[in-house]
Structure 1
Amino acid sequence: CSLYLAMFNTFGWGAVPWVVLVGLFAVAGAKLGGWRLALLAGGCSLYLAVFGVWKDSMITLSIVFVVAPLAALIGWASGLAAVKAKWFEALLVPVLNVMQSMPHFSYLLPISVFIGIGDEAGAIATVLFAVPPMARLTILGLRSVSPEVREAGLMSGCTKWQMLWRVEMPAARPQLLVGINQVLMQCFGMTVLASFVGTRGLGLPLLNYLQSLRIGKALEVGVAIVLMAIMLDRLGQALGARRPEHIDMTKSWTARHPYWIGGSAVVAAGIVLARLTEYAALLPRGGIVSTDRLWELRLPGTDIVLIDGRKGATVSTEPFWEWMVDWVQLNLKSPLGHIRDFMILEILFPMRDAFQALPWIGLLVLVAAVGWRFGGWRLAAIVSLFVAYLAFSGFWIESMETLYLVVAALIVSVVIGVPIGIFASTSDRRYAAVQVILDTFQVLPSFIYLIPVVMLFRVGPVAALTAIVIYATVPAVRYTMLGLRNVPADMIEAAEMSGCTRTQVLRKVKFPMAFPEIMLGMNQVLLFGLLLVIISAFIGGIDGLGDDILLARTEQALVGEGIVAGFNVAVIGLTADQLITNYARERKAQLGID
């Protein structure tokens, strides 16, 4: 890609034509995953061109392709150093825990102060945000290399460097490729959110449309973000699933490298087309406020415009989305309003008041007692210090206002996610179908979840709660399925031979054995909720730490308070993480589960 870009710049051809990049994405999909992935990659990238978001999409993609290799390199080097030096791992792991518990804006605030707003601030924040998963998966991959493989390398006379590059790195390849995929998706999600500090790309128009409540246009840009996220994730997963291939050297060069030939043909054809017509270089867009259309597609028998072709070559689905928003507001305003008012007055506000009334010393004693029960004096001391930090940071009330909404979302996510996980775990077909849905939801940038809830509930705590539940239910379902499907088959067989019904097997055998794994899922639900509750503060109508963090974005004098508030979010997440993971570890040991 760098060679192609350099070639276009050298000959003064400007930007790479969209037909070239769409074709190259399709060729990459064919190489990595066959014709289905080729159609997916080509179709998703074609949408970006046809629906008028190509330029913003390519800015986002260029930032991702610049920062992702740097983040992957830093993460890989950190993980490698941690594996080779115990003292460095002891320093690194707590840092990674804090980094992964921090909300996105806590990366953006200090960098925007020292660097300023713009692409550079977003790129630096994105690199820092994407380092932890690569570091953790590097540690996991190198630690998972079997002793037999290392012993074979030593017996072959490998030096330390040869052992690393010829034995350990190839053996850890699957985990490293998963880490690269995670880095890619983290970079994409953070690049979209970096629009809050002026980073260009798809996030900036989405932010502007949401602020002006142009929900139809926001949905159109949101679809583009979703499709790009799915395309990058599927290409990354396919790359991670590939295994080294044996090349038959008896074949001709063209037979050995069909995809290189296909890619070169796409580039050549794209250059010719771009020279013949400007439409092959960049589809011209019509004005946003233009009402003149070359054509329009209406819903049969109605006046509803599904797609309109503006002056230019791109099309827009904004009229359809705006019609949908208007229909929802017209027909569902009353029932949704009753639901919203009931949730606010009868559930959320009383719950908020109860959390605000909690005495900090009482919560500290309770958390310390739970920590003592599951981890001894060391865990009790750690979580007590965390609660004390919340109390003396000056943001106790704000922390409780944030915590109540996350706990409410946790309860709803458990009520929804656990039954779905139980239902999906009983059948391979259901499991596969739900897994696809979960993978799709999990690759979406968290910003996207605000669009439908604003359309339904406008702004307020119910909209924020709904967005958090949609985002955080994914790990509840996933960990429930994982825990239930990993119950040893001999235990299930023994229960069935004892005359247990299917319900009894679930209640008496599967669920107790899977409960530690389900609790780890609850931990992830809480962490997901903490991340999104800060982003949800953007839509307004909710109090808590998110308000202070967002306020610091606009007033430089409050940046310090914003950073402290961000650390409070991390501390809440770390407290829950320490308690839940220690409980799960103890319970697994009691059950004899590895």
Structure 2
Amino acid sequence: MTKLAQQLAQSRNFWFWTTLLLVSWVLSTYGRDLAKAVDAKWLIKFPAAWRIPMKGEISAAMSWLVEDAHFGLFTVTEATRSITWLLEQPYQLVLSLFASGFYQGVGQDAVLVFPALSWVFVIILVMAIGHYAKDWWLSSLVGIAFLYLAVFGQWDSSMVTLASIAIAVPIGVWGGILLGIAAYKWWIVELALRPLLDLMQTIPVFAYLVPILFLFGFGPVSALVATIIYAMPPMVRITTLALKSVPTELKEFSLMAGCTPRQTLWKVLIPSAKPTLMVGVNQVIMLSLNMVIIASMIGAGGLGYDVLASLRRLDIGGGLEAGVAIVVLAIALDRVSQAFALQRSPDRPLYAGNSTTLRIMNYPRTLIVLLSGGAIFAIGSFVPQMQTFPEAYELTTGAIWEDVIRTINVNFFDQLEAIKTTLLSVFLVPVKRFLGGIPWIWGLLAVSLIGWRVGGWKVCLLAFLLTAFIIVNGLWAKAMTTVYLCGISVLIACVIGIPVGILSALNSRVDRIVSGIIDTLQTLPSFVYLIPVVMLFRVGDFSAMIAVVLYAIAPAVRYAAQGVRSINPQLIEAGIVSGCTPFQLLRRIRVPLALPEILLGLNQTIMLALSMLVITALVGTRDLGQEVYIALTKADTGRGLVAGLAIAFIAILADRFVAAGANRAKQRYGYES
């Protein structure tokens, strides 16, 4: 592209965006008066008579499905209750093993037959697994992590959570692998799964908790189903990608060796793809742990329930302790799963022979675990402290956190209130009024024009259809509130995160500090952010915005740093030789060449912000997230799904717009032809 053509394109872009913004401002400010003057109020507010009663139809269909639908010999309710029973059996077994113990009898007549595993034995067990997966360093890390859970009084809740993870992860992994294999073998399956997986990963979790609650009832098994559904999509995608990435030579070699298609799959492709598949297992574990708090709203116990209960009581100490316990558990499981992903081959037998004694010597870790388990069980009958960690030795940091928040509120209340008031009056409220005042008909046209401008007619058509869905369901006003909160939060996250990411890429000392902070922010459960924010700023849009920024800032930092690091060093050297100052290097070389990565970070920041907005409905927002949350509390399936789809459609549009911008940036700077 010649320099003149570039200047013309930039000029057209400038006038397009300027005109779009100016018309939007005029219609937002004076549109209501103009509509009244021409007696056309329908131009401002979409008429109720034109709305499609989709919410009511979905709710009615769900009620019919649960109460009246028959499929041969059974009803839907009977089928879902059968699935519940099947899941409940292994769950109760693992829960009894880790947390409650085994009882005989019912109710008050129940008698403890066998206690739950001792806290000492569980620590020895996870240390043995860590040593088998990697080395003594990992063994010590997971041992310290589980010891932390016992010392800080989070053991019982952690074991309940671990029981849920122990059931949800294998089902999520194998379900994802089987679906991924089907998508790999049959293109029609992949074509059908792709939009379904997109929706599953963009619809807020609250939205599909409602139908799960309807179908499976209230309880830990329903929470287990929700966790499996939430955690499975990445495993499906990674399995398909891993199988497609296996070298063609291996497939041809298996055919030459006479393998059947089944043997090729399970003895060649799956083993070759194991490292990538283990990355998927890691993702399933992390997403399952991320789900434990949200699933507590439909009956899950454990650490998630503790965080949720602390939020409702505004107990910052209890909430943070339970949240940190989730982080500690997540770190331990993450490191172990990563070690298994990198593991090359199992240990070779050290002893040969036919005797049982020699065969047992080949598995020293198993032998140590079994012997220690028997010894601990015998000693625990006489020393209760070996079975249950003594409460007298438990520590707590709850009072410290409460004192910190109280001190900040007492000494800095005026300053915090001034910051809040200034940002609300100067920034948040004007933006909210601007977006909230845009008439639906201009909004539909403007979003379609943006789609056409950034991605051509296909993106334009998609933008028109998805925006029309939001409008005809009467959700335009709430959607604009969602865009306002998400937009401001993403803007602030990028204004802070991108410069920090660039600085951390250029300075190793800053990078170490930033990496520690970002790792902490990424592992803290989403609900935990709300407790200190609400105690400092109370409920409202400002508190929601702060929580969203903290939750969504990590991708902005990481992708900016990665983009700057990935620049060819020869280009930097050429700039230095040309006499560029450090600022010129940054402005003319580093930032432009890192722009595609930065835009990908923007995309991920938007996705995280939208997912967090549903959580912030608990602190008083009035957007689509609140619509989903109200639907959950009222078990209104139609309302929850329609609002959830509206959020998903906003996420899809943002993804398409940003992806189109990233592609243009790649073309402009020579990344693509």
Q: TM-score, normalised by structure 1?
A: 0.89
Q: CA deviation at 1:398?
A: 0.9
1:389 maps onto 2:469 in alignment: yes
The answer as to whether partners of 2:314 and 2:531 remain within 8 angstroms in 1 is no
Aligned equivalent of 1:274, options 368, 380, 383: 380
Aligned position for 1:263: 369
Range with bigger deviation, 182-191 or 10-19: 10-19
Paired AA for residue 29 in structure 1: G
Aligned partners of 1:241 and 1:436: how far apart in 2? 23
How do 1:52-67 residues align onto structure 2 when only pairs under 5 Å count? 52-67=153-168
Give yes or no for the alignment of 1:71 onto 2:200.
Answer: no
User: In the alignment, which of 334, 340, 343 is matched to residue 239 of structure 1?
Assistant: 340
Q: How many Å apart are 1:568 and its aligned residue?
A: 1.0
Q: Using a 3 Å threshold, how does the CA distance of structure 1 residues 264 and 441 change in structure 2: closer, same or farther?
A: farther
User: Following superposition of structure 1 onto structure 2, how do residues 141-290 of structure 1 map, counting pairs within 5 Å?
Assistant: 141-245=242-346, 247=348, 256-283=362-389, 285=391
Structure-2 residue corresponding to 1:90: 191
Instruction: Find 2:644's aligned residue among 544, 566, 569.
Output: 566
1:291-348 alpha-carbon deviations (Å, 9 max, x no partner): xxxxxxxxxxxxxxxxxxxxx4533333222222321221122211211222222221
What letter is aligned with 2:595?
Answer: F
One of 34, 42, 45 as aligned partner of 2:135: 34
Aligned to 2:633: 554
Change (3 A) 1:6 1:350: closer
In structure 1, what residue type is equivalent to 2:384? E
Alpha-carbon distance, 1:562 to partner: 2.1
Deviations 1:460-518 (A, max 9, x none): 22211111111101011111122222223343344344443443333222322221111
Cα distance in 1 for residues equivalent to 2:655 and 2:168? 29
Structure 1 residues 488 and 52: CA distance shift in structure 2, 3 A: same
Name the amino acid aligned to 2:194: V
2:446 & 2:144 partners in 1: Cα distance?
A: 54
How far is the alpha carbon of 1:435 from its aligned partner? 4.1
State the Cα distance separating 1:422 from its structure 2 match: 0.6
Question: Are positions 1:327 and 2:428 aligned together?
Answer: no
- Contact 2:319 / 2:528 at 8 angstroms: preserved in 1? no
Looking at structure 2, the residues matched to 434 and 266 of structure 1 have their Cα atoms a distance apart, in angstroms, of 42
Query: Computing the radius of gyration over CA atoms, which structure comes out larger, 1 or 2?
Result: 2
Is contact 1:17–1:270 with CA below 8 Å preserved after alignment?
yes
1:424 to 504, 508, 528: 504
1:292 is matched with none
What is the deviation of 1:250? 6.2
Which is further off, 146-155 or 245-254?
A: 245-254
Residue in structure 1 matching 2:452, options 372, 388, 404 = 372
- Distance of aligned partners of 1:259 and 1:498 in 2 relative to their CA distance in 1, 3 Å threshold: farther
Q: Name the CA shift for 1:4/1:259 in 2 (closer, same or farther; >3 Å).
A: farther
CA distance in 1: counterparts of 2:585 and 2:132, whole angstroms = 45
2:617 aligns to what? 537
**Aligned equivalents of 2:523 and 2:339: distance in 1?**
15
Tell me what 2:493 maps to.
413
255-264 or 396-405: bigger deviation: 255-264
- Check the 8 A contact 2:95/2:163 in 1, yes or no: no
Q: Which of 352, 367, 370 in structure 1 is aligned with 2:432?
A: 352
Q: Contact (CA 8 Å) 1:399, 1:568: kept in 2 or not?
A: yes
Secondary structure at the aligned position of 1:510 is classed as helix
What code does the residue aligned with 1:111 have? I
The change in CA–CA distance for 1:435 and 1:77 in structure 2 (over 3 A counts) is: farther
Kept in 1: contact 2:289–2:326 (CA 8 A):
no
Aligned residue number for residue 24 of structure 1:
125
In the alignment, residue 399 of structure 1 is paired with which amino acid? A
Q: Which moved more, 1:573-582 or 1:222-231?
A: 222-231
User: Does residue 612 of structure 2 align to residue 506 of structure 1?
Assistant: no
Deviation digits for residues 261-303 of structure 1 (CA, Å, limit 9, x no counterpart): 3333442343233222112212355xxxxxxxxxxxxxxxxxx
Q: Counterpart of 1:451? A: 531
Q: What is aligned with 1:120?
A: 221
TM-score (norm 2): 0.79
Residue of structure 1 in register with 2:211 after alignment? 110
**The 10-residue stretch of structure 1 (416-425 or 164-173) with the greater mean CA deviation from structure 2:** 164-173
- Cα offset for 1:245? 4.5
CA 179–533 in structure 1, closer or farther in 2 if over 3 Å, else same:
same
Given residue 345 of structure 1, which amino acid in structure 2 is its aligned partner? S
**Equivalent AA in structure 1 for residue 338 of structure 2:** Q
Moved more, 367-376 or 466-475: 367-376
Change (3 A) 1:364 1:161: same
Question: How far apart in 1 are the matches of 2:97 and 2:320?
Answer: 35
**CA deviation string 1:344-379 (max 9, x = no partner):** 222212211111112233233333233223432222
Distance 1:486 1:402, change over 3 A: same
In structure 1, how many angstroms separate the alpha carbons of the residues matched to 2:439 and 2:429? 18
Per-residue CA distance 1:107-138 (angstroms, 9 max, x = gap): 21111122221112111111110111111111
2: CA distance, partners of 1:105 / 1:214: 23
Residue 384 of structure 1: how far off its partner (Å):
1.4
Cα separation, 2, equivalents of 1:25 and 1:572: 43
Cα distance in 2 for partners of 1:144, 1:427 equals 35
Q: Deviation per CA, 1:10-40: give whole Å up to 9, x if none.
A: 9932211111112222222333343332232
Change (3 A) 1:155 1:407: same
Mapped to 2, the partners of 1:484 and 1:278 lie a distance apart of 57
Shift of 1:405: 0.7
RMSD: 2.6
Shift of 1:87: 1.7
What do residues 184-217 of structure 1 show as CA deviations (whole Å, max 9, x unaligned)?
1111111221111122111212212211222222
* 2:319–2:531 contact (8 Å) kept in structure 1: yes
Would you say how many aligned residue pairs link Structure 1 and Structure 2?
566
Q: Which moved more, 1:175-184 or 1:328-337?
A: 328-337
